Structure 1
């Protein structure tokens, strides 16, 4: 992403509600902040522009490979997914540590479909797409989202992208903060706490974002009211050649 794009984002007037602000006040993320001792400071103008740009760069990364981790007690459920943020469709495989259970999953903005005991022969993007495409409609068990952490993680993933950047001034005014710098898999990121909900009595957001200097999102963590380990969404591949299949939505 060029510096001219970042400059344009910085110059946007603070007149609309930002998408990242919307994440913390909508029904998508009904979670409360747990105690945190992280040292933080308000974002600078450039940092606010980076954070604001992250939803657009995520949208433009489609199709993208994501890794979602949902802790539950001593176990973790992992989703290996192929996401098209433009069409709001995703397919993937899931498995739970030590449970011997897993299967295929498809999700969008409105809900999800699960196909237990089905796994792709090839765990890569092409294998995920091929397996989902070849499954007949009755193989999927569809349902709406619930407040379950697993559902929250899938719904959060779909809310990470938009076809335009957020408003950096509004992000800064809503309490976005810089926590630290960190390297993930050899790539440098700034780590930010997201904007606060309106009327929040907490010191920090329950959402943490890893965003690089070009506004590319690497990771998002959500801390829930239950405490413990956070839900994690990581972007592992961008602009892949494999497309998310029409199935099961087209059936």
Structure 2
């Protein structure tokens, strides 16, 4: 069973209830649709005890690489700048005046490279979760209910009517927030499009929230030294 993830809403849920066959099919296909699309524009809101971080950028689900601008929320600007990441490596480019959107062509120098931390960092856990929201094949719809997936309620995001569904654990960096199936929620449209994901992470008191299509998608150009997976 492939790793699964999800997010939270302001609407009052009426579930949880067992998934219908249509809902299970959409949940099973949603990560594959991200992969088929090639990439998605995202805003990742990363929680933290000393204030959060907001990453605005793009995820290339075929290349398995993300890129964006990082800005602190309720904290100092020491973490502001540009960021690019793969499943194993994080590249950061500090900036005194970070733009609202990352430049389409990353700077050719000034990058610092480090391994992506598997535990203890809400930022790195959020980056890893975001990359896992694309898959080169659909999940098994019949197995989803057996692994804790359920329908929670409905919502409307940017004019889209969506179903909110819980999914199985997001892996070792995820933290159960309301039971085994409660640490990940997906906001999914009638055609299976993923619009939001919320996932608890072990290193933060609040969940990470990932919103899709928050701006125009810009193809990701690897920084010098980054090796995307094709």
User: TM-score scaled by structure 2?
Assistant: 0.81
Check if 1:82 corresponds to 2:58.
Answer: yes
In structure 2, which of residues 210, 213, 216 is the aligned counterpart of residue 233 of structure 1? 210
Cα deviation for residue 193 of structure 1 reads: 0.7
The aligned residue for residue 109 of structure 1 is 87
Post-superposition Cα deviations, 1:172-229, rounded to whole Å, max 9, x if no partner, equal 221100000000111111001102589x993533111111111110111012346643
Which residue pairs with 2:10 in the alignment? none
Gaps of 5+ in 1: 1-16, 25-36
Query: Closer, same or farther in 2 for the Cα pair 1:78/1:238, shift >3 Å?
Result: closer
After the TM superposition, which parts of structure 1 deviate over 4 Å for at least 4 consecutive aligned residues? 118-121
Residues 59 and 67 in structure 2, CA contact (< 8 A), matched pair in contact too: yes
Q: Which residue of 2 aligns with 1:144?
A: 115
1:179-218 aligned at under 5 Å gives the runs: 179-195=152-168, 202-218=179-195
User: Which residue does the alignment assign to 1:159?
Assistant: 132
Separation (CA, whole Å) in 1 of partners of 2:191 and 2:223: 34
Does the alignment pair 1:170 with 2:143? yes
Cα distance change, pair 80–70 in 1 and its aligned pair in 2 (3 A): same
Q: Which has the larger radius of gyration?
A: 1
In structure 2, relative to structure 1, the CA distance for the partners of 1:45 and 1:69 (3 Å cut) is same
SS of alignment partner, residue 77 of structure 1: strand
Matched residue count: 211
**CA pair 119-55 structure 1, distance change in 2 beyond 3 A:** farther
**Residues 11-55 of structure 1, C-alpha deviation per residue, up to 9 Å, x if partnerless?**
xxxxxx2x2xx347xxxxxxxxxxxx9741121111000100101
- Helix, strand or coil for the counterpart of 1:49? helix
Q: Is the 8 A contact 2:39 2:58 kept in 1?
A: yes
Give the equivalent residue in structure 1 for 2:197. 220
Specify the alignment match of 2:8 in structure 1: none
Partners of 1:51 and 1:239 in 2: how far apart? 24
Partner SS state of residue 46, structure 2: strand
Which residue of the other structure, out of 45, 64, 68, is the alignment partner of 2:40? 64
